[in-house]
Amino acid sequence: MSRRGPALVLLWLIVGAAAPWAFQPARAERLGRLPQLFPADNWWNQDVSEAPVDARSAQFIAAINKGGTRRLHPDFGGHDAPGSVGIYGLPYAVVGAAQPKRAVQFTYAAESDGVDHATGQALPFYPIPDEAITEPHWMEGGRPAASGVDDRHMLIVDRDSRMLYELYGLKWDGTQWTARSGAAFDLTTNGRRADGWTSADGAGLAILPGLVRYDEAAGSGEIHHAFRTTLLVTNGYVWPASHGAPGSPHALPMGARLRLKASKDVSTFHPEMQKVFRAMQRYGLIIADNGSDLFISGAFDPRWRDEIVSPAFHALTASDFEVVELGWRGERTSTSLRE
């Protein structure tokens, strides 16, 4: 029988008691702290305030207005009622590298990541928290994956590996995860999806870096990225998009960028909205999918105040914007954050 001195026994008791908590991976977080989303010269983060205006800008804007006045709409907010499951906007999850990877069966497996494209076999690839099966507010619409309807986008950031995973139409059917499509993005590089490939978004782009986020609007600094928006009708795609849909020849392609005119005075709006609109003047709006005209995507956050957000957005119209030269890339000097 071995003998331990009092100090050694005490140390063993302290370490033994702490071990189950000390060595467990951090739980997945909803709306957790995000790392930098892509390099500073990525298309989402690119300053287009001096980019040339497309020669057909006026015609494109007229097509959006459709003979009337099309106003911006904030496609984000908080709960649809106090304490409800339903939400406005897109939540996101932040996980660690220890989060188990799950296989997902895709409708569009040929253009999705996490698939052996030679065999069509789904691979353990997406770090989906099990909490999303039964808990609300992990994915678009707010409903748990086991009962979800709607588009059911889910956005997941691995804070350790700095990878972004995005899924469209995600659902737990009781035995497996299914989705329409899915994509992964290395947040340290400017990698673009293969031409013709979609993502969890129609344009083949990442969604999360284009969201209006409360922490940025209410923070001390400026917002340094473009925002995601939708149009009812689009026509093909241009860089940086990799995928599009056929439509009217008068419609903008996916990947096109709208820029709030520098002449638009935004100084009368609430300070949070001024910051958002200044970002629209500097970085613009990127057409990312088909949907309602000029619905601007944002992150779900209970701190949004609709009485501030909605009137401000509705005060801007399509005619306050101009179209940046289609496919404009500007100067790019870096391709990676990793040295």
Q: What is the pLDDT of residues 297-311, one digit of tens each?
A: 999 999 999 999 999
Please report whether residue 172 resides in a domain.
yes
- SS3 at position 297: strand
CB 178 within 8 A of CB 204: no
Question: What's at 186, amino acid-wise?
Answer: D
Whether residue 339 is predicted with pLDDT greater than 80 in this model: the reply is no
Mean pLDDT of 177-205: 97
Mean pLDDT of 48-60: 98
Mean pLDDT of 239-248: 95
Residue 207 binned pLDDT confidence (cut-offs 50, 70, 90):
very high
Question: What is the predicted pLDDT for the residue at 321?
Answer: 98
Strand pairing class (93-95; 29-30): antiparallel
Query: Which helix (H) or strand (E) is 63 found in, with range?
Result: helix 57-65
Mean pLDDT of 175-192: 97
Residue 1 binned pLDDT confidence (cut-offs 50, 70, 90):
very low
Total structural domains within the chain = 1
Taking CA atoms, 15 is separated from 6, 22, 27, 162, 191, in Å, by 14, 9, 21, 31, 44
- 23: which residues sit within 8 A by CB, 6+ positions away? none
Using the 8-state DSSP alphabet, how is residue 43 labeled?
G
CB 99 within 8 A of CB 24: no
Burial class (CB in 10 A: 0-12, 13-18, 19+), 253: buried
CB 25 within 8 A of CB 98: yes
Please report whether residue 110 resides in a domain.
yes
Question: What is the predicted pLDDT for the residue at 332?
Answer: 44
Q: Which domain holds residue 304?
A: 29-323
Mean pLDDT of 141-168: 91
Please report whether residue 328 resides in a domain.
no
Whether residue 133 is predicted with pLDDT greater than 70 in this model: the reply is yes
Question: What is the predicted pLDDT for the residue at 151?
Answer: 79
Question: What is the predicted pLDDT for the residue at 27?
Answer: 82
Please report whether residue 244 resides in a domain.
yes
Burial class (CB in 10 A: 0-12, 13-18, 19+), 247: middle
Please report whether residue 332 resides in a domain.
no
Strand pairing class (177-179; 104-106): parallel
Question: What is the predicted pLDDT for the residue at 12?
Answer: 34
Question: What is the predicted pLDDT for the residue at 147?
Answer: 76
Question: What is the predicted pLDDT for the residue at 169?
Answer: 95
DSSP per-residue string spanning 158-182: ETTTTEEEEEES-EE-SSSEEESEE
Please report whether residue 9 resides in a domain.
no
Residue 149 binned pLDDT confidence (cut-offs 50, 70, 90):
low
Question: What is the predicted pLDDT for the residue at 331?
Answer: 61
> CA nearest 300: which of 139, 147, 190, 186?
139
Percent of the chain past pLDDT 90, that is, above it, reads 86
Please report whether residue 194 resides in a domain.
yes
Of 143-147, 203-207, 277-281, the least confident: 143-147
Residue 19 binned pLDDT confidence (cut-offs 50, 70, 90):
very low
Please report whether residue 15 resides in a domain.
no
